[in-house]
Amino acid sequence: MPPILYHPRVQPLPYAPLGALGALSSPASDSPLDWVALIMLGLFLGILLVAGMFYFMARRQMKQMQKDRALERPPFEQMMPSSLNLPERWMAIRTGNIASVQETLGLSNPQRCTWQDGFQIAGVEHLFISPPVNGWILVVGPALPAPEEDVDFCFHFLNHISKHLGHVQYFSLNRALSHHCWVRAHTGRIERAYAWFGETLWNQGTFTAEEKLLGMECHPYGRVVEELDYQSMSRLNVNTENIGRLAARWSLNPAAVKPEVFTATAGITGELFPETSESE
């Protein structure tokens, strides 16, 4: 039997488990396929972010377009027929129920009345309630409260009416003195109100887009006519002349009712005994 030769310089390779061999391989992050996957993920997230930005910008632009369309109305001069004059005071109530308006106002001795006669009533306790026009009923007459006489009563009166009838608006103007007032109330809450009668008697709520669009100006409490310069005095005239335009954008302009409407329909007139109190 031949002898076994021993070579001390040649050592057998140690046994390396499969896991250890895997550990000797390149890290996963160094793999080209992994880098491609990361790049693709980044591109996808970037596209998603840009698409989201365009979506929200488009929605914002759409809302602005809808808002602008809501403010677009025919010019006041084009809408205004000569048969009905703009009253000094009136309310616009969003309803088609004349009986409900009459009951809420407490109107007694009701009688059928034409638009022309209703707009000319002079009795201090009389009101005219129009038939519905485009979803609004107009209430016209000297019996409506005047802010310059008692702004607190006017506040409670409109709160009372809107609490029972929903959406109610009130307008008042005196061209000779550039006095004016506009109020928008809903379900017993005043949303917006401004009254100028030689001084600011009432300024409540946020300045509306329609007021801004028409260039109307509102002074803070404590401002009196003696403190105004020539430009501000001119703005008072602008406010007064824009009352009808504001009413047309908020609800209904009484002087813009078409002749075929007020000649073919009639409302009612009666005496006002409002059931309002300080608790309302």
- Tens of pLDDT, residue by residue, the chain (280 residues): 555 544 555 455 454 444 444 444 445 455 777 777 778 888 888 888 887 787 777 777 766 665 555 545 544 444 444 467 889 999 999 999 999 999 999 999 999 999 999 998 877 789 999 999 999 999 999 999 999 999 999 999 999 999 999 999 999 999 999 999 999 999 999 999 999 999 999 999 999 999 999 999 999 998 898 888 888 888 899 999 999 999 999 999 999 998 888 888 999 999 986 444 444 4
Rounded to whole angstroms, how far apart are CA atoms 125 and 143? 5
Q: Give residue 277's pLDDT.
A: 44
pTM of the full structure: 0.70
For residues 252 and 134, what is the distance between their CA atoms, to the nearest angstrom? 8
Q: Residue 129: which residues within 8 A CB-CB, separation 6 or more?
A: 98, 101, 102, 105, 107, 118, 137, 138, 139, 267, 268, 269, 270
Q: What is the pLDDT, as a whole number, of residue 66?
A: 57
- pLDDT value, residue 81: 46
pLDDT at 83: 62
| pLDDT score at 22 | 46
Spatial CB neighbours of 208, under 8 Å, sequence gap ≥ 6: 184, 192
Confidence at residue 64, expressed as pLDDT on a 0 to 100 scale: 63
The label of the residue with tokens 């076994």 reads 4
Q: Domain residue spans in the chain?
A: 28-71, 76-272
